[in-house]
Amino acid sequence: MPEGDVVWRTAQRLNTALAGQELLSGDLRWPSLAAADLSGRTVVEVVSAGKHLLCRTAAAGGAPLTLHSHLRMEGSWHVHATGAPWRTARAAHAVRAVLVTARWTAVGHRLGMLDLVPTDQEHRLVGHLGPDVLGPGWDPQRALENLRADPDRAVGEALLDQRVLAGVGTFFMAEALFVRGVTPWTPVRDVPDPAGLVALVHRMLDTCRHEVAQSTTGDPRPGRRQWVHARSGQPCHRCGTTVRVAMVGRAPQDRTAFYCPRCQRGPAPTDTGLPQRPLGSAPRAGGRRTAHRSPR
Ligand SMILES: [Zn+2]
């Protein structure tokens, strides 16, 4: 799932291609926007806000409008030379937006949200967000205050809450908490040096925004780029213990959290004493009973 670094890079790419250019057409394949006409508008800029994309447009004699999109789970934007065939294997039926300028054509695939609002109404879509980790106005102090506002909340759940800080998904949540040595289920009040955690999250996203292959370990080799994320059932790079995964947060907003039970201190779902088989791992040999986390 795209996180703040990928969305920031997408905004940069779209901005480079579209800013200052007139839209020859703007085809929005979205039920509520079928009648919208963006042709003749000039793209002012494309920026990211957390995991949201804002394409701001202006028109002579018309109000500024913002095309808002969100990539959700598997959305993406691609830029092709106008008139050239789209060199992509992506399904045509998944196209949700096509913005055409004389030189470049931007195509939005599998977008999770698409809205068109007056630019002075953007706050209706992104006003709820906490400080944008990669935004020009990044405010670590406010992010820290937001994090501390609910001291009983699991820190993994808090980091994923875009109202606390904007741009973090399950990848950076798991990686940052591994590096800080606390489990995602640790209550915020028990996290040592939460300001250091906020600073680390910013540093990780800031580093990764310039890299095509996200790496939090500093090692670019496939399979070595991350500490624990998506590595359940595999040995921890640091201690060799099997990396585990369980859910954090309350359903239906609960999300997967990967962690090393040895390198990270604090509560974990396995603290019930029941052995747990991590997703992606083989059942234990020897007939010992394994169980997934019991529902609560
Ligand atoms: Zn470990």
Q: Tell me, what's the pLDDT at 247?
A: 92
Nearest to 42 by CA among 29, 55, 27, 52: 55
Pair of tokens at residue 245:
């995964």
Helix (H) or strand (E) holding 147: helix 140-148
CATH of 140-272, one of 1.10.8.50, 3.30.160.100, 1.10.1840.10, 3.65.10.10: 1.10.8.50
Higher pLDDT, 221 or 70: 70
Q: At 80, is the pLDDT very low, low, confident or very high (cuts 50, 70, 90)?
A: very high
Q: Is the predicted pLDDT of residue 280 greater than 70, yes or no?
A: no
CA of 242 to the centre of ligand 1 (A): 8
The domain made up of 4-126 is a member of CATH 3.20.190.10: yes
Least confident range from 88-97, 238-247, 250-259: namely: 88-97
Buried b (16+ CB within 10 A) or exposed e, 90-118: eeeeebbbbbbbeebbbbbbebeebbbee
The C-alpha atoms of residue 292 and residue 279 are separated, in whole angstroms, by 9
Beta bridge partner(s), residue 106: 79, 99
Q: Is the predicted pLDDT of residue 87 greater than 80, yes or no?
A: no
Catalytic residue among 51, 96, 209, 225: 51
Q: Tell me, what's the pLDDT at 296?
A: 35
Q: Does residue 3 carry a catalytic annotation?
A: yes
Catalytic residue among 110, 142, 238, 255: 255
pLDDT tens readout for residues 129-152: 999 999 999 999 999 999 999 999
Q: Does residue 13 carry a catalytic annotation?
A: no
CA of 74 to the centre of ligand 1 (A): 30
CA of 294 to the centre of ligand 1 (A): 24
Residue 219's contacts (CB-CB under 8 Å, 6 or more residues apart) are 225
CA of 230 to the centre of ligand 1 (A): 14
Q: Tell me, what's the pLDDT at 92?
A: 84
Q: What's the mean pLDDT in 200-213?
A: 91
Q: Tell me, what's the pLDDT at 253?
A: 87
Q: Tell me, what's the pLDDT at 223?
A: 87
Higher pLDDT, 214 or 248: 248
Higher pLDDT, 293 or 258: 258
CA of 29 to the centre of ligand 1 (A): 46
Domain ranges, ordered by start, for the chain:
4-126, 140-272
Q: Is the predicted pLDDT of residue 203 greater than 60, yes or no?
A: yes
CA of 158 to the centre of ligand 1 (A): 23
Provide the 10 A C-beta neighbour count for residue 179.
21
Helix (H) or strand (E) holding 116: strand 113-118
